[in-house]
Amino acid sequence: MTPVFGYDAVVAGAGIWGCTVARVLADAGLAVLVLERRSAPGGNCRCEKDEASGAEVHVYGSHIFHTSDSKTWSFVNRFTAFNGYQHKVLARHAGKTYFLPLGLALLNSFYGLELKPGEVADFIAGEVAKSGIPGTPRNFEEQAVSFVGRPVYEAFIKNYTAKQWGCDPKELDASIIRRLPVRASYDVNYFADLLQGIPRWGYNALFAEMLHRTGITLRCGTDYLAERKHIPSGVPVFYSGPVDELLGFRFGPLPWRTLRFERETLPVADFQGTSVVNYTDADVPYTRIHEFKHFHPEDAETMRRPFTAVCREYPAAWKPGDEPYYPVSNPQSDALLARYREEAAREFPGMTVGGRLGEYKYYDMDKSVARALETAETFLKKRNA
Ligand code: UDP
């Protein structure tokens, strides 16, 4: 293999996928050059300290690490301790506050009932029967109504989803709502994963530690796409930027949703009493408010400070140049993605395209780590064969 400036592999993009690949390759003894276009690694997990409140602000929206995959969990725990935070999300609807996800707490307070766990399935079946939904859900709306019935759908899902995705939920893929658990219990842990938490010293420290290893060279403020002409062919490249940008948007851009964040520091110790409150009604223009100090309840000094950092999240239409957050998966974008993938494989045979941007997939952090572990291990096996 031809080394590039003495490197055995190049990783383009120092998000969670790229950093995982880089670390696994370096652990196997390879010299890895990591190129990051932003000024620091961490991708959209990047945090920033808010001086007045002392809170770790998640610059690109709240990131909670959660997984059911013990291999992924063991891997990230090599680089940081986690603080045991378990995510809860509240929902504001028509002037009242409810506990998500869709479970006994929400159903009983929404309907003013005292349903028991064993009564939930029949109750929902009755609601679904009234809603006139066909047997097999064909889109997001039908899937959501078949999970919870129409009244709960209208109150907590329909308008939030329309704000989030900028379209009628009937036009969306049913898989998006399958992310939200529906439970016949008072368990208000937002995720079904028990392995969960926030890096005790923040995400920036996690990424610094992942990359802190002999064999890894990180160059920030360096765009792989601008630099690639200097990389000899034959050097394996692990690219985690957008796949359409890699190919100069030659078939047109893949559609994304972007987010705008409105951040402020307020002169109160606690603004909303929890880390995330969703606003599920159409008349509120944002989807949620994040209050970051609640992600670190173990940090008593920050919790006591008479200031707090909050952030309102506004979903928005995306155009090239904006930050891509959520891939908009539909039959047209799936077909476009397939074209880009084929073209990338043909034009860059030594390249692996991965991560949320590269794969154009709505991945959580743990899924990106798991995919990166698989990618790097498969590469090493082939290399050593
Ligand atoms: N969702 C909703 N109401 C809520 C929260 C979520 O309708 O209060 C729907 C919405 O369509 C969203 C999807 O569920 O896109 C997945 O939500 P999740 O909280 O997993 O989204 P993320 O945190 O990744 O933005």
Q: Express each pLDDT in 3-32 by its tens digit.
A: 446 999 999 999 999 999 999 999 999 999
Q: Express each pLDDT in 102-142 by its tens digit.
A: 999 999 999 999 999 999 999 999 999 998 887 788 889 99
> Burial level of 207, CB count in 10 A (0-12/13-18/19+)?
buried
Share above pLDDT 90 across residues of the chain, in percent, rounded to a whole number: 90
Q: What is the Cα–Cα distance from 243 to 237, expressed in whole angstroms?
A: 13
Cα 127 to ligand 1 centroid, rounded to whole Å: 22
Answer whether residue 183 shows pLDDT above 50. yes
Catalytic residues: 179, 183, 257, 288, 313, 362, 364
pTM: 0.95
- The per-residue pLDDT of the chain, averaged, comes to 95
Q: What is the pLDDT of residue 329?
A: 85
Domain boundaries defined on the chain: 9-47+200-251+327-384, 120-177
Q: Which protein residues are within 6 Å of ligand 1, measured from CB?
A: 91, 100, 156-157, 160-161, 164, 176-177, 179-180, 278, 280
Distances (CA, A) of 281 to 39, 129, 171: 37, 25, 19
Q: Which atom of ligand 1 is nearest to the CA of 278?
A: 8
- Residue 202 banded pLDDT, cuts 50, 70, 90: very high
Cα 108 to ligand 1 centroid, rounded to whole Å: 21
Asked if 256 and 327 count as a contact pair (C-beta separation under 8 A), the reply is yes
What is the enclosing helix (H) or strand (E) of 159? helix 159-165
Q: What is the pLDDT of residue 4?
A: 46
- 110, 177, 257, 328, best to mutate for ligand 1 pocket (most atoms within 8 Å of CB): 177
CATH 3.50.50.60 assigned to domain 9-47+200-251+327-384? The reply is no
Average pLDDT over residues 58-73: 98
Average pLDDT over residues 71-78: 98
